[in-house]
Amino acid sequence: MSDPFSTLGLPASFDLRPDEIDRAYRDLQKVLHPDRFAGRSPQERRLGFGRAVEVNQAYRIVRNELARAEALLTLRGHAVSPDRKALPALLMEMMERREALSEARAAGDLETVRAVAEEVRSERAAACTQLSELFALEPEAGSSSVADAVIRLRYLERFLDELEAIEEDAASVP
Amino acid sequence: MSLLQIHDPAASPRPIGIDLGTTNSLVAYVGAMGEPVVVRDCDGEALVPSVVHYAGDRVTVVGARARDLALEHPRDTLVSVKRFMGRGADDPETRTLGPYRFASATGPVVRFEVGEGRVVTPVEVSAEILRDLRERAEDELGRVGGAVITVPAYFDDAQRQATRDAARLAGIEVLRLLNEPTAAALAYGLEHRKNGRFLVFDLGGGTFDVTLLDLDDGVFQVRATGGDSQLGGDDFDRAIASRLLEHLGHREAPSAPPSAVRYALEAARSIKHALTDHDLVETTLDHGGQSVLLRVTRAEFDAWTAPLVARTQVACRKVLRDATCSAADVEGIILVGGATRIPSVRRAVASLFGREPLADIDPDLVVAMGASLQADILAGQGPRQDVLLLDVLPLSLGIEAMGGVVERILPRNTAIPAEAAQVFTTYAENQTGFEIHVVQGERELAADCRSLARFTLRGIPPMPAGLPRLEVRFAVDADGLLRVSASERTTGMSQDVEVKPTYGLDDAAIEQMLLDAYEHGERDVVARALSEQRIEAERVLAATDKALAEDADLLAPDERSRIDAAMAGLRTACGGDAHRRIVARIEDLDAATREFAGRRMDRAIRRALTGQSLASVETDTARAAGLDAHMPPSMREDD
C-alpha cells in the first residue's frame, strides 16, 4: 500500500486541518465507494472495493494525530521502534497520575476523575502543538525529540481512553 | 395517484426499500417525480404488523390479521420475531416475558414450536413478512426489482446475515443492507437540504440505535454509532405487563399462562399509547374470568420505565465520546421509531442535548422512505446520483487469543468497507492445526462477546513453536458483513480458507429451506438460476456498454475488438438455456475487461484528486434542480 497521505492526495504533513482531510476523503469516496459500482462489472466492483478499503484505511490514519505522526515518521524512514522506551520523567508522571486516579476511583470521587481527564485533554492538545512545531523545525529528520513526543502522545491517549471509560461507567449507574 | 393502475408488462422492475421492523414493517419506492412513496393497503394503512400466524395445513397469515389471532393462539402467532434474529437457543431474549414454546433450549438457532408440530426459525418467520411486503409492492408496481432492506445500525454480523438469508428465502435480491438511522438521515437530508452534524435517535419496537453523522453536500458520513440491540418499545410494554399480570393474580409473571401473557402485553401496549397524550388512563383488565379496574398515571409509567430511558442516555453519551464531539456540537436530533413518541423519552433527549428534537417526518415511515431513496440511487435511477452514504462498523471484530482475551482486528466505528489482517503464530512444537474463534463486541473476554465463527486452519507444516506465520484477514463489505480468510505464509505454500461466519444456519440449510418452499423443488431452482444469470448478464453487458461509451479512448483497437467479441459471446449464451454457459461467458468478458477496468479506475481517482471536473459540476446543478422539483412549495428553501 502506498503511504496514506498520497492515497488521499494530501501533502505529507502533520499540519492538516480536519476539514481538509474530510474533504479529500469524501471526494475520493464519491468515486470509489461500492455504491458507485452497483451497476458495474464484477471486475470493476472488485477493483473499486480494494481502492475504497485503502482510502478508508488511509483516512483512519491521517485523521488521528497520533497515527498521522507515526505514519509521517515511517514515511521519512524514522519509524518509532516498538522497543523504544518512554523517558523516565514521562513514566514517573504517568505513574503518579495513575495512583491519584485509582485513589479517586476507590473513593468514588468522580469530581477528581473529571479534573484529571480535563488536565490530560489539555496536555494532549499541547503535545499535538509541540509535535507540529518539531515537525516544522526538522522537516527531514526523525530525531529522538520527535520520537519522544510521539511516545508521550501515545501514553496520553491510552490514559485518556481509560479515564473516559471510567467516566462512562460512572454515568451508566443512574 | 389514480385508483386504477394499468401495469405495463414491459416496464422495468422498480427497486424498493423495506423497513423490516420489530413491531411493524413497510415498503416504499421512489415515484415518478423522485419522491418516496409508501405502499398502502386499500384502507390506506402503510404499517404491516410484523406478526406471523401459523394456521393448520401449512397456511400462514401475516400482518394485521395475524395480530388479531395472537390473543387466541398465542403460541402459533409470532410477534416481534426480529428480536430473535441471529440468536442462539440459549440467548437471554428467550427467557424474557413472552408466550412462546421453544423447540430446544440449546443450539445455535432459536426454533419456535408452532401449530401441528411445525418448527420454524426466526429467518423463516421474517421471510414470510418480507414475502408479504414484496407482494404488496408488486400489486402496486407490477414488477419489483432489488430491495434495500434496513437493519438496526447496532445489529451484529449474525443478525445481518440472518436478515440477508430471510430475504433470500423470500426471493428478494438485496441491493444493500442499510442501517436504519442512516436511512432516516437520508430521508431528512434530502427533504430539507440541511448540512451539519446530526444525531439520529432511533428507538424502535425492539432495538435502539444512536448514530452521529455529518451531512455535507449530498455526502452522509457516519461518525459513530451505538445503541442496544435488545432495547425498544417492547421493553416498555413488558415493564407494564409484569404489573398487569400481578393484578390478574400471577405473582410470577414469566410463569403465567401464554394467553394471559399475550393479553397483558397487548393491554400494556394500549396503556402506553394512551399515556402518550393523557396523564391518566383507566382500563378494565378482563381475562381468565377476572375483571380488574386499573388506573395508571403517566408518573407511574415513567417510574416503571425510568431504567430503560436511562439506558438510552448512556448510549448517546458513548457515541458522542466515540466521535470526540460534545452534545453542544450537534445541530439537530432526528427522532425515529414509534417509541420516540413516549413523552419521557423525548424529554430525556431534549435535556441531554439542550434542544428540541426534530420529528417532522412520521417516525414510523421515515426509515422505509430513506431505504427507497437508497434503492433508487443504487439502481442508478433518479436525480440523486451524487448522494452517498458512508457508514461504519457498529461493533469491534476480533479473534480470541491466548487466555480467552480478545485481540481486536477491526475496532468499532471503522469506516466500511474495511479490511485488516493480523499475524498469529503457534505455541506448541509441530502444531499443525490452529483454531480461530471470531468474535464481535466490546468486552475484553471472548466469552462475553458474540461468537461469530470457529474454524481450524489445518495443514500447517510441522515447525518449531512460534515460527509459522498465520495471517488472518477480515474483510467487511458495505453491508457490514464479514468474511474471514486465513493463510500460512512461512512456507510460501499459502493455504487460504475463506469462512463466512454463520449464526447456526449454513448455506446448505438455507438451500434446503428454499427447496422446501418451492412446490416443484429442483426444477424451479434450475429455472430460477437461469433467469438470475440472464439478469446478471444483462447487467454486465449494460455496464460494459456504459464504460465503453465513457472511456473508449483508453483502449487500443485490438483490446477493443477483444471486448466486443466477448460481449457478442455473452449475448449468444443468453439466447440459450444453459445457465453455466452464461456464467462462463460472463467470466470471459470479465477477463477481457480487466485492463480496461484498471485504467478507468485510475482515471476516476485522478479526477477526484484534482478536484471537480466540469462534468460533475453540471451533475450537481442537475441534482439541485431535481431536488427542488419533488418538494412541495412550502418546503423549498431559498437560502
Q: What is the pLDDT of residue B38?
A: 96
Residue B554: inside a domain, yes or no?
A: yes
Asked if residue B71 and residue B178 are part of one domain, the reply reads yes
Residues of A in contact with B377 (CB under 8 A): 35
| Whether the predicted model's global pTM rises above the 0.80 cut | yes
For CA atoms B429, B431, B435, B441, the dihedral sign is positive
Quick count: other Cβ atoms within 10 Å of Cβ B195?
13
Residue B5 neighbours by CB distance under 10 Å = 10
User: Cα–Cα distance between B34 and B218 in angstroms, integer?
Assistant: 15
CB atoms A56 and B414 under 8 Å:
yes
Regarding whether B404 and B371 lie in a shared domain, the answer is no
Q: Distance (Å) from the C-alpha of residue A140 to the closest C-alpha of chain B?
A: 26
Contact A26/B475, CB-based, under 8 Å? Answer: no
Rounded Cα gap, residues B69 and B56, in angstroms:
13
CB contact under 8 A, A43 and B593: yes
pLDDT digits (tens, 9 = 90+) for B220-230: 999 999 998 78
Buried b vs exposed e over B578-609: b needs ≥16 C-beta within 10 Å? ebebbeebbebbbebbebbbeebbeebbeebb
Contact in structure between A10 and A22 (CB atoms under 8 Å): no
A4-63 CATH: 1.10.287.110
* Annotated catalytic residue B637: no
B596 with B492, same domain: the answer is no
Instruction: For residue B515, name the pLDDT band (cuts at 50, 70, 90).
Output: low
Domain identity same for B33 and B158: yes
Q: Residue B212 in contact with residue B311, Cβ under 8 Å?
A: no
Interface test with A, best of B324, B390, B413 (most A CBs within 10 A): B390
Q: How far is A35 from chain B (nearest CA, A)?
A: 6
Q: Between B200 and B284, where is the model more confident?
A: B200
Question: What are the helix (H) ranges across chain A?
Answer: 4-7, 18-32, 42-63, 65-75, 88-106, 110-137, 144-172
In this predicted structure, the answer to whether residue B413 has a pLDDT above a threshold of 60 is yes
- Supply the pLDDT for residue B509: 74
ipTM, two decimals: 0.88
Element (H, E) at B128: helix B122-141
B420 and B559 assigned to the same domain? no
pLDDT interval class at B283 (50, 70, 90): confident
Are residues B21 and B168 located together in one domain of the fold?
A: yes
State which residue of chain A sits closest to B387, comparing Cα positions.
A30
Instruction: Indicate the residue among B464, B485, B506 that finishes a domain.
Output: B506
Q: For residue B206, what pLDDT is reported?
A: 86
Q: Which domain holds residue B440?
A: 397-506
Bigger pLDDT: A10 or B536? A10
pLDDT, chain B, mean: 84
Mean pLDDT of B146-152: 96
Same domain, B375 and B404: no
Mean pLDDT of B531-540: 83
pLDDT of the residue at B37: 95
Q: Reduced to 3 states, what is the DSSP secondary structure of residue B424?
A: strand
Q: Which of B181, B187, B178, B214 is nearest to B340 (CA)?
A: B181
Same domain, B372 and B401: no
Note the pLDDT of residue B77: 92
On chain B, the residues whose CB falls within 8 A of the CB of A28 are 605, 608-609
What integer pLDDT is reported at residue B554 of this predicted model? 92
With contacts defined as CB-CB under 8 Å, which chain B residues touch A26? 216, 219, 221, 388, 390
So where are chain A's domains? 4-63, 88-172
Pairwise CA distance, residues B585 & B639, whole Å: 53
Residues of chain A positioned with their CB less than 8 A from the CB of B417: 34, 49, 52-53, 56
A4 inside 8 A of chain B by CB: no
Q: Is residue B613 part of a domain?
A: no
The Cα–Cα gap between B375 and B17 comes to 6
Question: Is B19 assigned a catalytic role?
Answer: yes
Closest Cβ–Cβ partner in B542, B601, B607 for A48: B601
- Both B498 and B523 in one domain: the answer is no
* Residue B25 pLDDT: 97
Point out the residue among A39, A51, A172 whose CB comes nearest to the CB of B605. A51
CATH of A88-172, one of 1.10.10.10, 3.10.20.90, 1.20.1280.20, 1.10.10.2840: 1.20.1280.20
The pLDDT of residue A142: 57
Type of residue found at B386: D
User: Cβ distance A48 to A34 under 8 Å?
Assistant: yes
**Integer angstrom CA distances of residue B553 from B556, B560, B599:** 8, 10, 11
**Which member of A28, A56, A174 has the closest CB to residue B310?**
A174
Q: Which residues in chain A land under pLDDT 50?
A: 174
> In this complex, do B317 and A41 lie within 8 Å of one another by their Cβ atoms?
no
The pLDDT, as a whole number, for residue A173 is 53
Give the lowest-confidence range in B206-210, B451-455, B472-476: B451-455
Q: Are strands B290-297 and B397-400 parallel, antiparallel or unpaired?
A: unpaired
Does residue A40 belong to the interface with chain B, where contact is any CB pair within 8 Å?
A: yes
How far is CA B228 from its chain centroid? 15
Query: Would you say residue B285 lies in a domain?
Result: yes
CA B142 to chain centre: 25
Check which CATH number belongs to the domain holding B600 and give it. Answer: 1.20.1270.10
Average pLDDT on B104-112 reads 82
Cis peptide before A18 (omega within 30 of 0): no
CATH number, domain containing residue B280:
3.90.640.10
Are B566 and B448 part of one and the same domain? no
DSSP state of B80: S
Q: Which of B506, B532, B560 is the last residue of a domain?
A: B506
Residues B436-453: what's their mean pLDDT? 88
Give the per-residue pLDDT at B628: 34
**Percentage of residues of chain B with pLDDT beyond 90:** 42
Q: Look up the CATH number of the domain holding residue B402.
A: 2.60.34.10
Res B498 pLDDT > 80: no
Q: What is the pLDDT of residue A90?
A: 85
Per residue in A71-102, pLDDT (tens digit) is 988 888 777 777 777 788 888 888 888 888 88
Distance from CA of A46 to the nearest CA of B (A): 10
Q: Answer whether residue B431 is part of any domain.
A: yes
pLDDT of residue B629: 33
CA distance B595 to chain A (A): 10
- Select the residue of B307, B310, B543 nearest A41 (Cβ to Cβ): B543
Whether B92 is in a domain gets the answer: yes
CATH number for B85: 3.30.420.40
Determine phi and psi for A61, rounding to 5 degrees.
-70, -50
d(CA A90, CA B199): 38
Residues B416, B391 contacting (CB under 8 angstroms): yes
- For residue B385, which of A33, A88, A150, A119 has the smallest C-alpha distance? A33
Q: What is the pLDDT of residues B571-600, one digit of tens each?
A: 999 888 888 899 899 989 988 998 898 899
Residues B555 and B482 in one domain: no
Within 443-472 of B, beta carbons closer than 8 Å to A belong to none
Q: Nearest-CA distance from B370 to chain A in Å?
A: 15
Instruction: Report residue A29 as a C-alpha cell.
Output: 469516496
- Read off the amino acid at residue A18: P
- B602-611 residue pLDDT tens: 888 888 888 6
Per-residue pLDDT band for B627 (boundaries 50, 70, 90) equals very low
Which of these ranges, B300-304, B379-383, B405-409, B497-501, has the smallest mean pLDDT?
A: B497-501
Q: Which of B252, B280, B303 is the last residue of a domain?
A: B303
**According to the model, what pLDDT value does residue B222 have?**
95
Asked if residue B119 belongs to a domain, the reply is yes
Q: Which of B349-353, B430-434, B615-619 has the lowest mean pLDDT?
A: B615-619
Together in a domain, B48 and B182: yes
Are A56 and B544 in contact (CB < 8 Å)?
Answer: no
Residue B625: which pLDDT band, with cuts at 50, 70 and 90? very low
Q: Is the pLDDT confidence value at B2 over 60?
A: no
How many distinct structural domains can be found in chain B? 4
Q: Is the dihedral of CA A53, A58, A63, A67 positive or negative?
A: positive
Q: Identify the residue with better confidence: B289 or B339.
A: B339
Q: Residue B360: count other Cβ atoms within 10 Å of its Cβ.
A: 12
| pLDDT single digits (tens) B43-90 | 899 999 999 999 877 789 999 999 999 888 888 999 989 989 988 888
Q: Please say whether the beta carbons of B498 and B484 come within 8 A.
A: yes
Query: What is the distance between the alpha carbons of residues B302 and B271, in angstroms, rounded to a whole number?
Result: 12
